């Protein structure tokens, strides 16, 4: 893979992405829009105000625009990416591109109907070795991002997260009453399943997910497990996720 970094930690490094985006035209994590558009249609209206979190050089926003989704704001922390994508799609007036940190979104409260991310949170977790218990630093990073996502969503708005993380791993990160949302999940793909989570603001956690949150709080001081998510730092965890 031409853009494979020498260490998974580089997936969290903006300099890595700036270098990559200078030469890479486009790349799709977890398959392109056609692989899961049937799920998006169930949860996203074409007239809704959408925030694409960590847009990268994916064609997802453009493909959605072509499919009739009229208002999409794209943010990424790579200035190279944002400038390139803005130039590439300058004829699409309702696609906007902004350089922004997902931990500090420069938007008012309750402005978006939908926040969508595909692989962004996975890239933030690349250094984690235990899927059952993420490190304190990673947990804090995700907490900051998820609080911001919840903040910018309208009541009834949806956070849609596309990932390879199975529910028994990912719901542990999403099931917090503080975020003020319910959790549903779906899967797509044939030989390998990917997952699409729909978190609806203003709806309560299910009894099962509320119990999960309580259990996680009780387990906070438990000793770490020996299960390993990846065998070595040099393993490319995103290398085999294309459909």
Across the range 171-193, mean pLDDT stands at: 94
Query: Does pLDDT of 45 surpass 80?
Result: yes
Give the confidence band of 3 by pLDDT, cuts at 50, 70, 90: low
Query: Does pLDDT of 235 surpass 50?
Result: no
Give the per-residue pLDDT at 133.
86
Share of the chain above pLDDT 70, in %: 78
Give the confidence band of 74 by pLDDT, cuts at 50, 70, 90: very high
Query: Does pLDDT of 162 surpass 50?
Result: yes
71: three-class secondary structure by DSSP = strand
Question: For residue 62, how many other CB atoms are within 10 A of its CB?
Answer: 18
Give the per-residue pLDDT at 186.
98
**Selected residue with higher pLDDT from 113 and 223:** 113
**Window from 80-94, 137-151, 224-238 with minimum mean pLDDT:** 224-238
Domains and their CATH numbers in the chain: 8-16+35-218 (3.40.50.150)
Full-prediction pTM beyond 0.75? Answer: yes
Share of the chain above pLDDT 90, in %: 61
**String of DSSP letters for 162-207:** EES--HHHHHHHH--GGG-EEEEEEEE-SSS-EEEEEEEETSPPPH
Query: Does pLDDT of 203 surpass 90?
Result: yes
Largest CA distance in the chain: 54
Give the per-residue pLDDT at 199.
99
Give the confidence band of 236 by pLDDT, cuts at 50, 70, 90: very low
Give the confidence band of 19 by pLDDT, cuts at 50, 70, 90: low
Query: Does pLDDT of 191 surpass 50?
Result: yes
Strands (E), 83-152: 95-99, 112-118
Strands (E), 92-152: 95-99, 112-118
Give the per-residue pLDDT at 4.
53
Give the per-residue pLDDT at 56.
87
Give the per-residue pLDDT at 29.
62
Query: Does pLDDT of 242 surpass 50?
Result: no
Give the per-residue pLDDT at 50.
99
Contact 67, 35 (CB under 8 A): no
Contact 127, 155 (CB under 8 A): no
């Amino acid at each position: 893979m031409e853009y494979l970094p020498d260490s998974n930690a580089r997936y969290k490094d903006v300099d890595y992405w700036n270098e990559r985006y200078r030469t890479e035209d486009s790349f799709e994590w977890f398959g392109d829009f056609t692989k899961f558009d049937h799920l998006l249609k169930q949860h996203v209206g074409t007239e809704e105000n959408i925030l694409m979190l960590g847009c990268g050089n994916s064609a997802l926003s453009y493909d959605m625009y072509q499919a009739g989704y009229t208002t999409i704001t794209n943010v990424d922390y790579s200035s190279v990416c944002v400038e390139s994508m803005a130039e590439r799609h300058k004829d699409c007036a309702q696609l906007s591109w902004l350089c922004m940190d997902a931990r500090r979104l420069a938007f008012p409260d309750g402005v978006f109907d939908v926040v969508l991310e595909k692989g962004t949170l996975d890239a933030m977790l690349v250094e984690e070795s235990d899927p059952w218990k993420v490190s304190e630093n990673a947990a804090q990073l995700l907490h900051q991002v998820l609080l911001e996502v919840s903040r910018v969503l309208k009541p009834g708005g949806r956070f849609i997260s596309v990932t390879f993380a199975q529910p028994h791993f990912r719901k542990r990160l999403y099931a917090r009453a503080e975020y003020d949302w319910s959790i549903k999940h779906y899967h797509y793909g044939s030989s390998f399943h990917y997952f699409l989570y729909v978190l609806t603001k203003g709806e309560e956690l299910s009894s099962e997910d509320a119990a999960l949150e309580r259990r996680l709080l009780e387990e906070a001081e438990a000793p770490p497990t020996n299960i390993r998510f990846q065998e070595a730092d040099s393993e490319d965890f995103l290398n085999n996720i294309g459909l």
